[in-house]
A and B are shown apart, each in its own frame.
Chain A
């Protein structure tokens, strides 16, 4: 769990697979697959480092072409060697890298060697598996083997200082020289006992040779010149002298990192190099294989983790940087401290891990591609495309194999075609000019608008640059202005509004504002529907109503006026008829007025002036006005009111008319000698006004129709009662226009209760009215 939290990108598979790959790499290096590359880098390091100056006290006395020209053909007479020893008596040690196994004219040399005693001679293990020592005619001097290890490419890099062969220890020529020159024992590994196989050579004390340069790096003087006495005996004072062949054709030469493309280095010079390495302690030390692998593994896994955390480009840069740094470090440790850390395994580790991380990322991308396809498919309208099975192989094979890529391409092509088709379809619908459409993105910029919107906005100077400016531009044309100047936010909250644009010709639009959540963002969609025809009919209707009402009112004034005069001046039945005319004209006036009131409320033309109204006072007032009517009908009109009812915010006249209508209705539909109660009551959230009667009641079937325009319930008791069927419609319209809810409860034959629910005024608190 802890690991998962620290390294969320690393899954089990992402750990095991690279470890498995590294194990294979490890095995491959172990069996030497990478040795060639390592040797190449090793030799390259020598050449980049450049030659180093060898110690001056090691001198090579060369049997060169000049010597042979002077002293005759090879082999040289051993007397010359004796003479040589005589001239170099001051030298510390003299080593002959010349096999002297066969007896010859050895007397003089033997004498000199006896006298000199600090001589080293070579020995070799012959192909026929025996050690060839110097001739027995020479005095017993120390010997060492002159075998040097050539790599599979023939280049000399190593030497084994100790050989065990047929039960005897054969030290290397250079280690013997070292012991004699340094007067100290060469630290050899433990001898291996019980050697069974006579033909086996057991090698130990391996050393990497630190070459100083190509052939001729060491001081080389001609043997002929020494014999000729060109060098004084003092020249050899304290020197270590190696005598060997350098003449072309005779030389036992070997290739070194420096001489790879040039001449071979004579064996004697290689022996001199090895000796110098031993004396100076600057042989190349090699970082052991397991330690090298641990370093590679740690660095590799560190990089691997970072490859996941970064982009491919940066990953590649990181890889290059790591390779460069490791190379530089590896070279510096070689050049400065003579420590060689073979880099190939590390290089391959880094590359492998980078490739693995890359493949894992590719796999992730492939998987997400599959998920994307799956996510797109259900959104397509085309049923054929929806049902199409996912042709694409999910995961890496879908993006790495030609077949996989091809099927991806086909599917992508399919999806793209389908999406283009759907986009075109949507665009055509959107931009069809059946209605105006403008879409603004979450930042408020215009995303899309069709020709209609551009046309009308342009003509009326409404900016389409941004959503807010579009709303600002529309605001002056909005017809609903009931609640004064609305703020920008209020406009947005409105689901719809009506605008009247004057240019190029007068047109009415219903503007619907929708907030469309797309993904995690919210777009604003404006739909402008042309309702000019509808609005014109509505206006015409209003005009007709207005004209008719006016035309009706002039004759009504006359009828009402003159019938009033007649009632005052007539007597008997004529007086009664005139009274009927007068009453009916009053009723007609009231009908027309109520009809006009409802019309006005419905059209939103009714001005609602909200003021603070104490409902209990309003009930008392109503009762006072209706008292004569109640008395006339024999109804007991009661008012039940508590003393402290909170005021409400309503239009006083409209509310009074509502209560009046309800009370008049209650009396009208009650038989004489009954009670009508006007009651006000404060509830938790509302203030409730009940108008209750003990009248005829309403049939259950009629209850939901009584507020309909012109609807009148009929029953035996009420058939003679005159009414317009508009009174309750007015009450409902007027109540709801100012936020008051109306309800009715009735039992047929027992009476009805109409209730009005007034919202309470939100009491100002410190929070919403700070000082």
Chain B
């Protein structure tokens, strides 16, 4: 049963947000992996490939954009869908050409992010 559960990697430096997302997504039937920044997320990725990544934009050590660049560069990970959570007023559309699949503006409600996740997973 465990093997069939879809894995979602949550990357955020705010443990409260990781907790809230874990609660909502677990309840929806996903298996959750967590990392406090981009660098830690890459460590996890090397061991286990998730079905989808939800990442914050601004984080210490390696931020969301750095993480996306690293993920998209690596052939094994490049097909993983990415959702970026952003608290910024405007999206950093000019920074590099590599973009997440979906931007999610903070704050957001659980049904909204679930809908986006379902959408991305169905596409793949």
Contacts and interface: CB of A to CB of B under 8 A. Distances in A.
Contacts of B58: 550
A301 B56 CA distance: 101
Contacts of B107: 553, 556-557, 559-561, 585, 589
A554 interface: yes
Contact of B106 (A556, A564, A596, A599): A556
A137 B29 CA distance: 182
B17 A557 contact: yes
A549 interface: yes
B16 interface: yes
Interface in B63-92: 85, 87-90
Interface residues of A, number: 24
A552 B88 CA distance: 10
A545 interface: yes
A445 to B, nearest CB: 39
A368 interface: no
A556 B85 CA distance: 13
B20 A558 contact: yes
A562 interface: yes
B90 A558 contact: no
Contacts of B88: 546, 549-550
Contacts of B14: 554, 557-558
Contact of A549 (B17, B23, B87, B108): B87
Contacts of A599: 89
Given A556-B106, A556-B107, A589-B107, A565 B20 contact: yes
B29 to A, nearest CB: 16
Interface in A35-69: none
Nearest to A597: B89
Given A550-B87, A565-B24, A557 B110 contact: no
Contacts of B1: none
Contacts of A150: none
B61 interface: no
Nearest to B21: A561
Interface string A549-584: 111111111111110110000000000000000000
A553 B90 contact: no
Contacts of A557: 14, 17, 20, 85, 87, 106-108
Interface in A254-283: none
Nearest to A596: B89
A541 interface: no
A605 interface: yes
B109 interface: yes
B110 A558 contact: no
A549 B57 CA distance: 14
Contacts of A556: 106-107
Given A554-B14, A554-B106, A561 B20 contact: yes
A70 interface: no
Contacts of B89: 545-546, 549-550, 596, 599-600
Interface string A590-612: 00000010011000010000000
Nearest to B104: A557
A564 B21 CA distance: 12
Given A550-B58, A554-B14, A554-B17, A561 B110 contact: yes
B111 to A, nearest CB: 9
Most buried by A among B23, B88, B90, B107: B107
A585 B107 CA distance: 9
A505 B88 CA distance: 29
A557 B87 CA distance: 9
B2 to A, nearest CB: 24
A561 B17 contact: yes
A585 to B, nearest CB: 7
Contacts of A564: 109-110
Contacts of A585: 107
A551 B109 CA distance: 18
Contacts of A565: 20, 23-24, 110
B122 to A, nearest CB: 24
Contact of A554 (B21, B87, B90, B110): B87
Contacts of A596: 89
A440 to B, nearest CB: 35
A596 B106 CA distance: 13
A398 B11 CA distance: 96
B95 to A, nearest CB: 15
13 contacts: A549-B89, A551-B87, A554-B87, A557-B14, A557-B87, A560-B107, A560-B109, A561-B24, A561-B109, A562-B20, A600-B89, A600-B90, A605-B90
Given A557-B87, A565-B110, 9 more contacts: A545-B89, A550-B87, A551-B87, A554-B17, A557-B17, A557-B85, A561-B24, A561-B110, A589-B107
Which A-B residue pairs are the 3 nearest by beta carbons? A553-B87, A561-B20, A557-B107
Interface of A: 545-546, 549-562, 564-565, 585, 589, 596, 599-600, 605
